[in-house]
Amino acid sequence: MNQEFVEALREIVKEKGISADLLFTTIEDALVTAYKKNYAKQGVSTNNVKVIMNRENGEIKVYAQKKVVDFVEEEIEEISLEDAKEIDPNYELDDIINIEVTPKKFGRIAAQAAKQVVIQRIKEEERRIVYNEYIEKEEDILTGTVLRKDKGNILINVGKSEAVLGPNEQIPGEQFKFNEKIKLYVVEVKNTTKGPQVLISRTHPGLVKRLFELEVPEIYNGIVEIKSIAREAGSRTKIAVYSNDETVDPMGACVGPKGVRVQNIVNELKNEKIDIIKWSKFPDELISNSLSPAKVIDVTIVDEENKAAKVVVDDSQLSLAIGKEGQNVRLAAKLTGWKIDIKSKSQAEKEGTLNLSKIKDDEILENKEEDKEEKIDLNEEIDTIIEDTKEEDVSLSEKEEETAQEEVNSSEEEENNEEENIDTEKAIEDIFKDEF
């Protein structure tokens, strides 16, 4: 070993971000193992061996550690107090003395052992660093760069490591381009014998949640909460939100001004449809909201323990409530955690299970709302008429003022013209007077 070797180690430490002390200590441990392996059969004790590597010049020395005793019984592991005092007068009984026993040909063996351990330690440290970095991002979002496609898998550069986006974790129909930046959800980080394994996904509901946290400040700050998410990646997602502040509309906050916030998320998910609904602690209200965009007539809790409910919708809303291939009701069931049985109004009437009193109450409430809206519209019309009348009065007053002003201006012009005529006549008289 020499100084060049030490400098090379320091470069590796700097480049890989590995602890220098840890690397040197690991090399020393490896050299102890190499010494024991090569010199155990030569009558040399290997149980009390210590190797020290000089951090500056790379010099390696092997020491036999011996205990200071009065009477030596094991010469390989013990030394008399008298002999110890000859080495250093300060030694006392039971002290441990390092006695150099470096073999002449140990340099070549040491170099080979050091090389192997350095390679192994670098791999282990790189794996540890990667694992520690990504374990903190578990259940979080990160941005990766597309490298290539390999047998249906997409290889993604996620910083200090590469991750594999498997076929089942890709949004159906999604196409990737080389060097394209994409958002990924870290499902899990495993520490395996082959190194850390980062499991990433584009289909996990957690991706939608994290995207909303990035786009909606109210969610990030905890004002608005995401209570539940149900997703069929590439097709549709339902998200239930709740506001901890009565002055903040949770749905409006998620949609954003002119729909910008939710549209950014839709674009990232390759035009996946997103239904944002208002969460409620009341199951019937939550179930009704979850079937949006369909309008629900009635929700009846059939079995609260097993979470089963029956929903009635107008005949014209039945297909919308169920959705294409049952998707809408399926997502609603996932979102709420309730089994939902949807029936049309005509079906419920035939079965005699329609809650007419509730429907009547709802209709009365709806009529009241309509009357209220009509009154508001009527008041707005009256205000408009009053404003128009005021404008007309103002316009008439302005016209009268303009007419009066025109008359004054006309009178002034006539007077001025008369004065000009008088002055002209006088000037002519003066001219002729001077001439004659």
Question: What residues does each domain of the chain span?
Answer: 3-133, 136-201, 224-279, 282-354
- Per CATH, 224-279 and 282-354 having the same topology is answered yes
Question: Are the C-beta atoms of 309 and 296 separated by less than 8 Å?
Answer: no
Fold annotation for 282-354: GMP Synthetase; Chain A, domain 3 (3.30.300)
**pTM for this model (two decimals):** 0.65
Quick one: how far is CA 286 from the chain centroid?
27
Looking at the domain that runs over 224-279, which CATH code has it been given? 3.30.300.20
pLDDT in tens, the chain (436 residues): 567 778 888 888 887 777 888 888 888 888 888 888 777 655 556 678 888 888 888 888 888 889 999 998 888 888 999 999 999 999 999 999 988 888 877 777 777 777 788 788 788 878 888 888 889 999 999 999 999 999 899 999 998 788 999 999 999 989 999 999 999 999 999 888 888 888 999 999 999 999 999 999 999 999 999 999 999 999 999 999 999 999 999 999 999 999 999 999 999 999 999 999 999 999 999 999 999 999 999 999 999 999 999 999 999 999 999 999 999 999 999 999 999 999 999 999 888 777 665 554 555 445 545 444 444 454 454 455 445 544 444 444 454 445 445 544 444 444 444 444 445 445 434 444 444 3
Architecture of domain 136-201: Beta Barrel (2.40)
Alpha carbons 171 and 237: distance in angstroms, whole number? 13
3-133: CATH, from 3.40.50.970, 1.10.10.60, 3.30.360.10, 3.30.1480.10? 3.30.1480.10
